[in-house]
Structure 1
Amino acid sequence: MPRLMTTIPLAGVFALTGCFSSSGEEQSTSESADTDARISVAMLQPPRSGLSPLSDDAFKLSRWSTAETLIALDAEGEAQPGLATEWSQDDADPSLWRFTIRDGVTFHDGSELTAAAVMESLQAAIDASPQPRILDGVDLELSVEDDDVLVRTADEDPLVPQRLSSPQLSILAEEAYEGAQVVDPIGHGTGPFELISVDGTSSATLDRYEDYWGDPARASGMDVEFVPDGTARAAALRTGDADVVEAVPVGQAGQIDEDLIYEVAMPRTNTLYLNTEEGPFSDPEVRAAAREAIDRAALIEGAYESRADVAEGLLGPALPWAADLRDEASYQEIIGQRAEPAAVDGVEISLGTFTDRSELPEVAVLLEQQLEQAGFVVTQDVREYQYIEADAVDGVFDAFILSRATVLDSGDPVAYMYSDFACEGSFNISQFCADSVDTALQFASEQYPADGRELAIMEAEAQILAEDAAIPLLHERVIQGEAASVSGAEQDPRERLLITGETALGESD
């Protein structure tokens, strides 16, 4: 059924960039903010792809408010204006969408934002290899008409606006794409902060962009350090070396003033992916044995100091509708098709995870103990994420523990499910392929948000869990650190925003 999207006034977009906290309440900003101050930020993971917006590095560009998208999402996940001020779906042809591009926007290199520039930027993402995962299974054709961008999909797609909110579809200046293997975001965004320089995997520098199309940033810039070691990040907050700190480890939270930390329920699930293509877990009964061996509550108590939630499925409490829909008869019928667990005795398995999220190695230790009690023999491989990701995706491990955001790209979990569990998914660590899951994901992708999409998503979850391709362990809560002088930093469950134009430091004494 076609949809006509209502035009939203300009003021709506400003409400998106600095007002929503984890509780949905408006954050206060200091009237005595020091507009000459620079914000020091300690980030969890270093760039893995030269800060290319076509990779997961795009979320850093978004969290620094240097790269922007056509569409933004509000606290409820609804599409709101970004670099597009309005959009509509054609009544006669629901595969066609029209986006009106905001006037008066310049890129950081001084060039003008035009419909043609938007089309070229989006086309670069379409042509990329691999494509950004938000485009998995999606065919887009772009054109320009009357200064608007037209987006045509091969099939009717209810989530075109939400897809265009993905940081991996950020709009950069034409010069960012010329003659480069990796797209260069330095000096080519449209946000309130301009990316000035990047020192490899060590640091990044951003300055206020004085010609920003909206209100200018309250801080003069930010200095970012990449600090994979969680203890060092926590120490940077305690000592005042960092004003804002990503992902304070649970084990460090108790050593920090409670007034400086914020706990946010995340749409992020700690999941054990099982290699369904080869090795012991190609047998569904062996996968079922692993599932039955796991004590989730013990993992949470032991590794997260009870600062997490038991996973009953792939989607957690950050999506409150998920739990209720698991009681539906259709969901329970699918789950009832799970294989019965085999008796395992001496079955050898390899278990991988990474150190960047400091709780995961401890989860691996506890999980090894639980699996060995069930009869498995476990060999662990734990490395930094940048050194283990390729092996995980290539199916080197029998099992892999991953902390995975479930609504990272579009605000909707179908893209995550497709990426991880569809036969053609680009991040299919489980090497999994099942017609029943592909069919369920296809059906869910065709539903409009108001027309039963949530139930269809949950039935797709049930199909995945029925195959034990992955075992959800727990739903994480992120602990974000902010110095007492900081105001207006975002506590964003989707991990898209962190430092915005509204973020400021109190005036220096």
Structure 2
Amino acid sequence: MRVPARLLPLTAAVAAPALLTGCFAATGGSGGAEGKRVRVAMMQPPRSGLSPLTDDAFKLSRWATAETLVTLDEDGDAEPALATEWRQHGRSWTFTIRDGVTFHDGTELTPRAVVNSLTEAATAAPKPRILDGVELTAEADGDTVVVTTATADPLVPQRLSSPQLSILAAKAYRGKTVNPVGAGTGPFELTKVNGTSSATLDRYDGYWGGRAKAPGIDVRFVPDGTARAAALRSGEADIVEAVPVSQAALLDQDLVTEVPMPRTNTLYLNTRKGPFKDPALRAAAREAVDAESIVKGVYEGRADVAKGLLGPALPWAAELRGPVRHTEAGDPDGRTVTIGTFTDRAELPEVAATLQQQLQKAGFRVKLDVREYAAIESDALAGEFDAFILSRATVLDSGDPAAYLYSDFSSDGSFNISQLADGAVDKTLRAASRTATGEARREAVMAAEAAVLRTDAAVPLLHERVIQGDAASVVDAAHDPRERELVTVDTYVK
């Protein structure tokens, strides 16, 4: 079976803040919902050429160009999308595929097309992280698709809601890349990608869910948070994602929306090598951290101090969380540690500097390594740092935190920055993954969280909030704590 490498080359440089002025000048129009395109300033440029098998998939989802078989409601329960219904029988789930759907290239959505997309994802190397620990196959059966896993998996519908399992036309998978241009099913067709600088989407009038109210979307990637906020103030952007807290207070507060989100700012400690291989030194680092001062000083109160890995966006987590027994802290005795983080989220370098001071006060010597995320991710995943600060979405993929916990803390997790390999943790993660959805699963998830916290492989700092800027002329932009939606079929600019 072919195992494709899925990276589309990135050819353009990231737009510098100084080049933002006029970046939307050629777009827009006048008069009503039909005349104006939606101008969006986004934080992170594509990391993998907008491959849907990577985190870039969430951009495709936020632009309403790529869709999945299933979506999630506010509670994280599965709802129909490209599949209209489903049922479980043992290790298999049967999904009925929606009639009357066409891809942006004019071809029809068929069970065979669905099987092709799911098979490409399941056989990719690496696989999308939503499939960590999951062996999945798909086959067409009449007007349905049968999805089978190696063991019974109660979370299959939620997994299939992940943007990383978007269904694209066959043409997207030619050669060694996945190219989503003109290959989705959503209300907007991706027509042009200018490397890591910009993207253009036009309304797709054949959309099965009704005609979009806006004629298109013009996206610019603006990593500098000050420049993104300036674009909203100057009227150059209609929607600005991830407004830095330092800029939020400078904006008209009527244009700012703040929503608690399932995203945790966490200090990951390397358990495989270096000083933090010693559990006592990990405990010393945990005790040195003053998260409340970070929330007040760096986030200006626009965040919530973490009591665990799962935050207030999942209200049941606090209700089910119990005490955690930690290892006794040891003496750092001047041990040198290197902490890595990235500049794409404006607050993280400040968090790193504050943690440097706190750990040095406790007796560590601390070096910082701060880069753009695209330049640091591979080193972080390879365990090249003693510690790494990450802003991590905890239910982004499936609406269920078990997938995040497995990906980040299981022995074979694809995003295991802590390099954790702990049999007791693995056992609780497997139990959570196998438990049916509902109260029992939530209890199993919290048992897994406790097992992770006992190791001090991760020190949760705070839970972030969505801070999004919308111009006064914007109607019905999405404010999605899971960061799956931004511009929808109902969004337009007056």
- TM-score normalized by structure 2? 0.93
Q: 1:133 aligns with which of 126, 129, 136?
A: 129
**CA-to-aligned-CA distance 1:131-179 (integer Å, 9 cap, x gap):** 0000000111211112200011111100000000000000000010011
Distance in 2 (alpha carbons) for counterparts of 1:247 and 1:131: 27
**CA-to-aligned-CA distance 1:254-283 (integer Å, 9 cap, x gap):** 110000000010100000000000000000
Q: Does 1:230 align with 2:225?
A: yes
Q: Secondary structure at the match of 1:452?
A: helix
- Cα pair 1:51 1:58 within 8 Å, conserved: yes
2:482 matched residue in structure 1: 494
| Alignment map for 1:40-119 (pairs within 5 Å) | 40-90=39-89, 94-119=90-115
Q: Does 1:146 align with 2:145?
A: no
Q: Which runs of 5+ in 2 are unaligned?
A: 1-30
Distance in 1 (alpha carbons) for counterparts of 2:121 and 2:137: 12
Look up the equivalent residue of 1:132 and give its one-letter code.
Answer: P
Distance in 2 (alpha carbons) for counterparts of 1:203 and 1:313: 37
Look up the equivalent residue of 2:451 and give its one-letter code.
Answer: Q
- Cα pair 1:47 1:201 within 8 Å, conserved: yes
**CA-to-aligned-CA distance 1:368-403 (integer Å, 9 cap, x gap):** 000000000000000010001111111110000000
Residues paired across the two proteins, number: 464
Distance in 2 (alpha carbons) for counterparts of 1:284 and 1:162: 35
Q: 2:402 aligns with which of 414, 422, 425?
A: 414
Look up the equivalent residue of 2:84 and give its one-letter code.
Answer: T
| Alignment map for 1:186-201 (pairs within 5 Å) | 186-201=181-196
| Alignment map for 1:424-443 (pairs within 5 Å) | 424-443=412-431
2:458 matched residue in structure 1: 470
2:492 matched residue in structure 1: 504
Distance in 2 (alpha carbons) for counterparts of 1:283 and 1:84: 49
Q: Secondary structure at the match of 1:397?
A: coil
Q: Secondary structure at the match of 1:304?
A: coil
Give how far 1:75 is off.
1.4
**CA-to-aligned-CA distance 1:15-53 (integer Å, 9 cap, x gap):** xxxxxxxxxxxxxxxxx9421210000001000000000
Distance in 1 (alpha carbons) for counterparts of 2:35 and 2:125: 41
| Alignment map for 1:176-195 (pairs within 5 Å) | 176-179=172-175, 181-195=176-190
1:314 matched residue in structure 2: 309
Q: Secondary structure at the match of 2:207?
A: coil
Look up the equivalent residue of 1:300 and give its one-letter code.
Answer: V
Q: Secondary structure at the match of 2:436?
A: coil
Q: Secondary structure at the match of 1:34?
A: helix
Distance in 1 (alpha carbons) for counterparts of 2:333 and 2:294: 23
Tell me how large the CA RMSD over aligned residues is. 0.8
Distance in 1 (alpha carbons) for counterparts of 2:468 and 2:438: 33
Identity %: 64
Look up the equivalent residue of 2:197 and give its one-letter code.
Answer: S
- Cα pair 1:33 1:218 within 8 Å, conserved: no
Q: Does 1:350 align with 2:338?
A: yes
Distance in 2 (alpha carbons) for counterparts of 1:33 and 1:472: 46
Give how far 1:420 is off.
0.5
2:254 matched residue in structure 1: 259
1:37 matched residue in structure 2: 36
1:121 matched residue in structure 2: 117
- TM-score normalized by structure 1? 0.90
2:26 matched residue in structure 1: none
Q: 1:458 aligns with which of 439, 446, 449?
A: 446
Q: Does 1:271 align with 2:266?
A: yes
- Cα pair 1:49 1:182 within 8 Å, conserved: no
Q: 2:369 aligns with which of 370, 378, 381?
A: 381
Distance in 1 (alpha carbons) for counterparts of 2:486 and 2:221: 15
- Cα pair 1:325 1:455 within 8 Å, conserved: yes
